[in-house]
Structure 1
Amino acid sequence: MNFKTLFIAGLLCELVGQILLAKGNDFIYAQRPIDFAHWFLLIGVVLIMPQVVSFPNKIFSYIGAPLAIIGVVCTIGMCVLDFVWWSQETQEIRNDFAGHLSKFPSIWKTFITNGPSFLNIGLVILSLNYIKQNMTGVLLIVLATLIIFRVIPLPFRLIIGYLITAFGFAIIFYKKR
């Protein structure tokens, strides 16, 4: 299995994680024996890493790869925090934990609100390496990123966004030229 296949598998894990998250907090907190949603997100970002650092040596990689790596690290941190939330026995404890963390922007903004977005910014920039070879795949990834960031408002934006992102990179990596 090569890095591109792992990368697509990682994006599909992200998609499965988002599908599970869309079922709501009650569903997430009822998952047993583990928090499957956040494990899918965690495994997904780990699987994309080998390809992120293997994109062509071009200007877009020099910008996109570090941003994507920051996003991966922040997503891993978010998953760890979400595992702690999941492990709490009552909603009151979860709310207290969230209230506590929200007082620390170095944690809250880095791992919950802003940090994981760097992954999508990095991925769209990395896709620009292929703009001459595969405009269709790149445009799909740009569209997906606009959906993820609510520029194009859609219900289930993260599900649709990750599905289109995976499809766009699959076209870039596997479409015969």
Structure 2
Amino acid sequence: MKTKQRCLIGLLFFLISYLFFSKLLPSLSESIDFAHWFNLIGACFLLSFNDAFPRTKTNKVTSVLTALGVIAHIGLCTIDFIMSSYGNNETAKEALGQHISNSPLIFYPFVAVGPSLLFLGLALHAFTFIKTETVKSLMVIFGSAAVGFSFFALKNGILMFLSCVIFVLGLGLLLYVPRTLSKFF
């Protein structure tokens, strides 16, 4: 499977996960947390963007941020899988949530800051093209910021999903920017 194909699969899975998170799609099953499974698989495939974009000194740092963001998404999805395993036991969910909130070694890297690194890393990858592909780059940068703002500040699932659509579309379009092979080495 080629790098672009892995990237596109990641974008598709990631977008579907945000469709579930937005509550625009009904939950398909009580026993399987489809939103987080799609998010987990999508995030792992999005790691392929580190290979899709030109390798520059700046993109080496950006690739590390993206990788850390994927690791954080894996951790966050794991936490959410454990949380959903409690089913309707709200007391147990509250206790686990409180424990995670009181554990800085879990809360910051896997809940508060870490998952945002995936968006930051991919937005910085897109920033590489700001001069030549301004609109596409701004779609990624704006979309990544808007996903976080709509989730944390506005708590609006529909705006979060629409922001993710802009983010995903921008990244997808950047995959098909013509580049010479010399930029890859």
**Normalized against structure 1, the TM-score is what?**
0.86
How far does residue 34 in structure 1 lie from its aligned partner after superposition? 1.4
What's the Cα RMSD here?
A: 2.5
The answer to whether 1:166 aligns with 2:168 is yes
Structure 1 position 4 matched with structure 2 position 4 = yes
Counterpart in the other structure of 2:136: 137
- Structure 2 equivalent of residue 157 of structure 1: 159
Aligned with 1:136: secondary structure? helix
Q: Residue 149 and residue 34 in structure 1: after superposition, are their counterparts in 2 closer, same or farther (change >3 A)?
A: closer
Unaligned runs of 5+ in 1: none
> Any idea what SS the aligned residue of 2:43 has?
helix
- Which residue of 2 is the match for residue 121 of structure 1? 120
Given residue 163 of structure 2, which amino acid in structure 1 is its aligned partner?
A: G
Q: Give how far 1:63 is off.
A: 2.2
Distance 2:78 2:125 in 1: 26
Kept after mapping to 2: 8 A contact 1:13/1:44: yes
| Residues 63 and 125 in structure 1, CA contact (< 8 A), matched pair in contact too | no
Cα distance between partner residues in 2 of 1:78 and 1:164: 23
What is the letter of the counterpart of residue 75 of structure 2? G
- Report 1:71-150 matches (<5 A): 71-89=69-87, 90-150=89-149
Q: 2:35 aligns with which of 24, 37, 40?
A: 37
Instruction: Count residues in correspondence.
Output: 174
Does the CA-based 8 Å contact 1:148-1:161 persist in structure 2? yes
Query: Matched residues in 2 for 1:62 and 1:157: separation?
Result: 31
Q: Name the stretch that deviates more: 72-81 or 84-93.
A: 84-93
C-alpha contact 2:52 2:175 (8 A) present in aligned 1: no
Q: For 1:153 and 1:2, locate their aligned partners in 2 and report how far apart those are by CA, in whole Å.
A: 38
- AA aligned to 1:142 is I
Q: Give 1:22 deviation, angstroms.
A: 2.1
Where do 1:7-86 residues align within 5 Å? 7-23=7-23, 31-86=29-84
Gaps of 5+ in 2: 180-185
